[in-house]
Structure formats: structure tokens, C-alpha cells
Amino acid sequence: MGITIYLLTFAVLLVGLYIVVAKKNIIKIIVGVLIIDYAVNLLLVLVGYRSDGVAPILSPGQTAADLAETGVDPLPQAMVLTSIVIGLGITALMVSMAIRLHQKYGTFDMNRIRKLRG
Amino acid sequence: MGVEHFIVALILFMLIAALIAAETRDLLSAVICIGAAGFALSVIDLLLGAPDLAITQVVVEVIALVLLVRVVLRREDTSTTDARDALRTGAVLLAGGVLLVVTFVAVGGTGADGTIPAFGAATFANPDEALPSPVSSDYLAKGPAETGAANIVMAILLDYRAYDTLGEATVIFVSILGVYVILRQVGRRKQEPVL
């Protein structure tokens, strides 16, 4: 069961890669980058999981030693939290570039944008 | 019926949403599919014991979805001319994926001596006495006493690794600056008369 989860995550990543490489529409490419982002974040969180693990948050009646015994790995979560927010920044940049290209060329299609040049 | 089955079902949902986003002709449908995948990811985070990630993922997902829908709406360009060599690219990527999977399994896959620890195994448990204890177990065991924070993820983010968070804030600031510079309307202002 465990390796199935990892392989499915790889499959999601490959679908995103396929979109980025094969599609010619800028919005599609942005969607592909987002899918790759999701797959990598998911893979990191999956590696940090432990069976029947609890969230690394100290609840009442629980000591830090209990948490060390049952908690999931908090380090990948902290890193992925940073990664998610940075992903939003990247998305905003890509979207603004797409808006600009559409203003200038009137299309999202990379083939037509290339043809229109010069 | 463990939580693993539910996670597998949700990742399958993400995979199907990604495939529909790849192949649909309507850009709005593609954007909505990516939204569905993002919310599924949020539920997976919740199941994996990462409520902070689930909340952040929902917020980021809504903002990204609004941005993308805003771009797609009112811009009448749904002509997704398929690339001529889309089929060939797909075949090459599929072959690459098979190669990746075979390599992954051949070098041990998941497990104690594999490349990735097995799903559900604690990555930081059972430290060798001779080695220093893994940093994650120290965070869990000593975090509440050292930082006073009940949420260990936030203790790492804002205390142990605060410089990382400072860097993250810098990246966000620079990206906002970049969006402003790209979307700024230049050259429309009337020029000052030169004396």
C-alpha cells in the first residue's frame, strides 16, 4: 500500500510535467506548474508521515515526550508551508505575465505569439 | 480500512483532475479542475496530521483560483491549438516515468535501506546511540519547553528556523514587486513640457 501512494504521487507529477512540456497555451502551462507544485509538496508531507501519527500540536493532557512518541515529523511540514506560500507568489507572477502577453498579442497561444513577433 | 485507502482514493482524484485539466479544451474547466485537485490536497494534508498545511493550502488555493479565473474570464481565447508533437512528447514522458519507477523500485524503493523511508515509518525514530539524535525528535521533545509554543510546526517556522521565514517573506515581497512592475501601465502619462 505504501509504495502505491508514492507511485501515484509520481504519476501526478508526470502529468504536470507533460502539461508543461506539451501544451502551447500559457494558462495550461501555469496549471501544469501548479500540479507539479502540489505533487512535490504532497511527496514531502508523505515522507514525514508515521502510521497513526497525531498532528505535532501539543494538546491538553499531553506531554512533549508523548508527542515525540506519536507525532508526525514536523520538519517537512514547516518546509512545505514555506513552499506553498512561495508557490502562490510564483503563480501571481506567471498570471501577471500572462495578462501582459494577452494585452500585447491578444492570445494565450504560444505558437501565435511567436509568429506575431517582428 | 485505514487512512491509507482514503489517501489513495484522494490522490487518484487528484490524478484524474490533473488529466482532465491537461486534455480539456475549455480553459475555465482546466482552472476549475486544478482547484479541485488543490482542495483534495488540502484534505490529504488533514489526514496526514498537518492541519496547518491544510489551512494554508485552502487559503492559497482560493487566491490562486480567483487569479486564474479572473485571467480566463472575459478573455475570449479558448483556442487550445494542440501541439503537433503532443503525442510524441507524451510517449517520451511516459517512457521516462516508467524508467523513473523502475529505477525507484530497483534501488530499493521504500523501506529501511531504500531511497525513501516506507510510508508510515517514522523518519526520525530509533536513533543510533552513537549518532546525534535526529533533529525532528528534538524539536518534538524539547520544542514546547524551549520555545513555549504548543504548535511545533509554528515553533520551527518562527523560532528555530526564523531566518527561513524571513527569506520566504523576502520572496513574497519580491514577487509582489514583480507583479506590480509587470502590470504597471508605463508611457501613458502625458509628458511634462520641457522648458
- Helix, strand, coil percentages for chain A (3-state, nearest 5): 75, 5, 20
Q: In chain A, whose CA is at the least distance from the CA of B3?
A: A52
User: The C-alpha cell of A92 is what?
Assistant: 501571481
Note the pLDDT of residue B2.
Answer: 79
Q: Measured between beta carbons, which residues in chain B are less than 8 angstroms from residue A72?
A: 48-50
Chain A residue nearest residue B97, CA to CA = A14
Q: At what angle do helices B51-72 and A74-105 cross, to 10 degrees?
A: 0
> Rounded CA gap, B119 and B111, in Å?
8
Contacts of A2 in chain B (CB under 8 A): 4, 110, 118-120
Q: Which of B52, B63, B182 sits opposite A96 (nearest CB)?
A: B182
Q: Is residue A102 scored above 90 in pLDDT?
A: no
What crossing angle do the helices spanning A2-22 and B86-106 adopt, rounded to 10°? 150
Task: Set out the domains of chain A in order of their start, with CATH numbers.
Answer: 2-116 (1.10.287.3510)
Residue ranges in chain B assigned as alpha helix (H): 3-23, 27-47, 51-72, 86-106, 135-147, 152-155, 162-183
Q: Where along chain B do its domains lie? A: 1-75, 95-123, 127-186
CB under 8 Å to B64, separation ≥6 — which residues? A34, A88, A91, B38
CA B38/CA B4 separation, integer angstroms = 19
Residues of chain B with pLDDT under 70: 1, 74-86, 106-116, 122-133, 187-195
The DSSP letter of residue B26 is -
pLDDT at A30: 92
Q: Which residues 123-152 on chain B approach chain A with CB closer than 8 angstroms?
A: 123-125, 135-137, 139-145, 150-152
Report the complex ipTM: 0.90
